[in-house]
Amino acid sequence: MEIVEIRLFMQHMEWSQKFSVGIKEFDDQHKHLIAMINKFHDAFREHRALDMQKYILKEIVNYVKTHFETEEKYMRMFSFPGYDDHHDEHEKFIQKAVGLQMNSVAFGFVPTLEIVKLLMQLLEDHLLTVDMNYVDFFHEKGMK
């Protein structure tokens, strides 16, 4: 895990325009990601991260499936040219999330930093990087 990810996780996060894609439905879901990060952050700081793992992993799996399904619905509807690559990114995140959840069930826990890494990758690598690739396209289609 990169030092940057740990530093970002060590701070309580507030929603800001830098996270916004300017599409209410997506931004509302992205706000939920920030809330999950903060919830796990609080548990981590209060030494409850291990107790919260199964709950947060279930929430992450539900989030990625629901959020990615929403994005892909609009990508197909408007024939987004980057759909295949975006879908592949989604599949990787779903596999990571489900894999961590399965390991948590099988072994009773997963390393807390693996959950932190997944959450921060969803934020940094996906929302702030990959999702920004569709912003102009969807805005041109009238999505707000």
CA nearest 122: which of 85, 82, 92?
A: 92
d(CA 51, CA 142): 44
Each residue's pLDDT tens digit, 85-99: 999 999 999 999 999
- Res 46: pLDDT: 86
pLDDT of residue 7 exceeding 60, the answer is: no
Tell me which architecture the domain covering 22-140 has in CATH. Up-down Bundle (1.20)
- Res 8: pLDDT: 54
Tell me, what DSSP letter sits at residue 130? I
Crossing angle for the helix pair 112-121 and 49-77, to the nearest 10 degrees: 20
Task: Summarize the confidence of residues 5-23 as an average pLDDT.
Answer: 79
Half-sphere exposure in the Cβ direction for 101 (13 Å, CA): 16
- Top-confidence residue, 37 or 80: 80
Q: Which band of pLDDT confidence, cut at 50, 70 and 90, is reported for residue 6?
A: low
Q: Report residue 66 CA to chain centroid gap.
A: 11
CA nearest 107: which of 24, 45, 50, 30?
A: 50
d(CA 50, CA 109): 7
- DSSP H helix total and E strand total for the chain: 6, 0
- Res 26: pLDDT: 96
Q: Taking the domains of the chain in order of start, what are their residue ranges?
A: 22-140
Whether this prediction's pTM lies above 0.85 is answered by: yes
